[in-house]
Chain A
Amino acid sequence: MSQEKNFRIALVGNPNTGRTTLFNRLTGSRNTTGNYPRVTVGVHEASFEHKGWHISIVDLPGNYSLSSQTDEELLTRELIFNKSADLIVDVLDMGKLERNLMLASEMIEMGVPCLFALNMKDEAEAKGIRIDCNTFSKLVASPVLEISARSGEGIEQLKDAIVSLAEQDEQKESVRIGYDDHLEATIRSISTHIEMLHPEEFNQAQARWLAIKLLEGDESVLRQESEHVALMRAVNHDREVLEKQHGEDAGMMLNNGRFGFVNGLLLEVREIDTSEQVSRTDVTRVLDSILLHRFLGLPLFLGLMWLIFEATFTLGIYPVDWIIWGVDGLTNVLNSTLPESMFKKLMVDGVLAGVGGTIVFLPNIVILFFFIAFLSESGYLARAAYLVDRMMHAFGLHGKAFIPMVTGFGCNVPAILATRTIENKKDRLVAMLVTPFMSCSARLPVFILFSGAFFAEHAGKVLFGMYVTSVVIALLTAVVLSKFFIKGANTSPLLMELPPYRSPTMNSIMVHMGANALSFLKKVGGIIVVGSTIIWFLQTFPQEVPLSKDYGKEIHTLQKLPESENRDRMITDLSRSRDAETRRGSYLGQIGGVIQPIFKPLGFDLNSSIALLTGFVAKEVVVATYGVLFAQGENVTHEDKTLQEAISETMTPLTAIVFMVFVLFYMPCFATLAMLYRESASLKWTAFSVVISMVVAYSLSYSITVVGGLII
């Protein structure tokens, strides 16, 4: 035994009751909060010292009930049931006690030591709500305190109360929530049955709780006890009898019983002075009358999204430039300091180029997440999901998938991260898998290059067409995925709380942003380093490529000639040609040669095939590769030619369209796949994403080739 006096508490409560704010207040840590259900993804732990006690806290996810319907509920319940915590601190929104106490009553039913912290005291008082904490405390046989986690009011008292509970050995008494006689008798007989089956294992309160859960038809407890055939038979029989006699199933009867308990309790302890009701709810009401207006709500939201989108990419330009400048600077430093070696090439052309190419997304991610954090903290995000749900639902998506998908126009990487707000795993998976079809800004350079080269007059329309295609295909894919591939998707209800608006604190927004930026850098960074090393290797080896002529000698000869513009251009052309040939001879080029027959039906030549291969790293690399490859053409570049002109000579306009469509949909870039793998935690679905994008890209491109060929 350690000398230190240790005590473990767990924070439990409905979503949006200020649990995380309290957690941060108690421990001084800086966790992400959010005025949006389930921002607490996973479990946070920290500790604090008070009056000689070392108190560790677990912040559990917000729950509306302790049924086993979600992972969060199951997690919370198991932690409480197994007594992993010495004390449960239930955080309640003092203004919404009816519903908050329903969860509390489940905790009381489990017979574990509890403390009830009535949070948002200030907001509740503004509504004229007064609570008699003494009576309350007696009725639930646990301490009840009023606090305001935001302002810090009552926090010291809360710490004192926790310590005094720590010093107390056992809780003396407990309350039992009584039910209708018939139900009560049934619970008693089943719990006796359970105690017989598990002697010593469960105490009376635990057996009673298990009995109640069995009657509720709780899947996880039913599974746990399924071996006891007699018990199962008794439970099923009792449930049928109850339902027949009362015209209501046992679950509802239990809920009604708890609600009766809650109402009775509130009648005793709560006073509402309606004359004092002011402010906050009214602000929410007024805002909602505009923001959730039947006709204004949606246009306002779409306008807001457009603004955010614009801001993300216009404000992002400057820091992106700084990063490019920084990476270039570092490249130069490495170039000049490191001795000429393979290692240097790997560092500069492989790792630094790959990492540099990826962290340029960082500013956009940070800015975008600033806005998402702001929307989430303010309480608007849930409303956004509500506003677009109908449209999204028709395509097999949840309303909450909208924001991630729009984010995908910027960059698919943060977009996949943003799907975290979708609680149902299957719905989230659908959203994650269609997000890469949203045309990200890295594909834009390709479209600009090709539409400029082939459709100069109508470049804008072509560009717009690509975006429309991307949305249409993404939505159609969602339909197919939710219907055929991910069974049970699109069935989760919209059922969600729209929390009152709160003005976000700068601190929490910063934390939110910082956490996302950091996780982007850490996890994706690792995979990018590996991926770009591989691509570098494929591009660099073999070193000795048979060349069509001795470029070194020719350049050398030219360099001896008197200086002239013509000479310089010839030297540049020659060295470019050499680069292009070397690239074709590399493993990557060889692979390109092998796969080129696959692309042949689409009309892509070797250059296009190689460009597409390099685009796996990041889609904007496609243009860069073209830059290198087209330096040399079959028709010698005897005069200055822009890349656009060079390309337009090697392709028909139809092939150009096909190529753009292919680039739009084929294989998500490395960073996206890395994020997809991390967030889905499934190699299978990551591979599925590759397969489905290739299938869509190829079949769509091929259809265009065939249909286009008929028309032209």
Chain B
Amino acid sequence: MRNKIVKELETTFSNQGDFFIEEELVDKTTIFLMGFKTLVDLPKSKLYIQQIEDSSRSAKALFMNLSNRINVNTEQLIEGILEGNLVIVSLDGKQNAVVNPFIQNLRSSVSEPKNESPIQSSTDAFGDDINTNVGMIRKRLTTTSLCHCSYQVGELEKRKLSMLYIEGRTPNALIEKVEQQLKGIKNDIETIDELNLQFGKRRFSPVSHLFATELPISAIHALKRNKIVLFLDNCPFALVFPNLLWDMLFSINDRNFPFILSFMLRFFRVIGLVATLILPALYVALVSVNPEVFKLDLALFVAKSREGIPLTAFLETIAMVVLVDLILEAIVRLPKSVGPAITMVGGIILGQAMVEAKLVSNLLVIVITAVVIASSSVIGMQNSLYIRLLKYPILILASLFGILGVCTGFIFTIIYLASLTSDDIPYMTFRIKKEGEIK
């Protein structure tokens, strides 16, 4: 029934869940409409074709009227589909046309990112609609090897789930594993973490398998770096699988600057990461366990600044760290209009009152401020949260063993992160190998 061209197109796009072929009766012959659901507004386009049909005498005239790109070869048809056009092929396959369709309304729902603020780059962010999101990727990555698989998962509600990857880049073994894991989902997926748990038990781990990003650019970059991108219906994030350590430090947006500048940005993020982990611990270690490390003048200065403070170094540090984390959380909870008030009150209380009341040392306030700033320098809110969590064990170890504790705590953190894997891909790997690439 279907002709050669249609079949060829069908096989080309067999991996694409959003590819459609519709048959339409025009002037007593059948024509095939093809395109991506995520890009083409089908009902409106059909209406348009019918309107044109009424004004044209034959099918050939219809094709002429619809477009000026008619009777092109198959490659151009594929290209046309990928560009988001509607392709029409007659029953015998002799006539075809690439039609500018009514496009899915992608742009209007596209807003600016809420959780990230990219500099010098496109400010589009993913929205709630899964088709819009996939469409945004398609719009920016026009290639046939971009594959799209759709799933409906869940027990109570069937939730739409899309998996995107680039064929020939992402390792097949990884794709198969993820496919199995997605197909094996039994319970409802309500949050990102419930999806995360499907990729293997990490209930007590702060590090997720998935890296959530709002920016289409980073999602596309992840695809190009042989990763898998998942979309969940009504979730305005691209979930990149697997999540790697370097996602926290390297963003593709950095590369909009010259290399040396982007290197600097990344280097600062590394400093921020390390500082967040060890700075409060180092303060406790140096002040209460190993003060002999300080040079004489520094030691006297620190001793002077702590003179008369009733709390021990560990207590004051942990109190301040918890307080700061509370403020950060409170700012998120509050409406935008009240947030600044909390910041101000917090700043005054922490910065002025506590020091003047001699409850904490002013050196500590400096340390804590540095930590708060440093912890925000990494990419991704979730990453920033988890390194804020990881500083507590190091802090406790430091309060017991001093510098030795800082050092073992830091090494233990490294070892812990190195032990994480998602589907046999280590968290600390630099890059994922291309399909077929040998070591």
A and B bound?
no
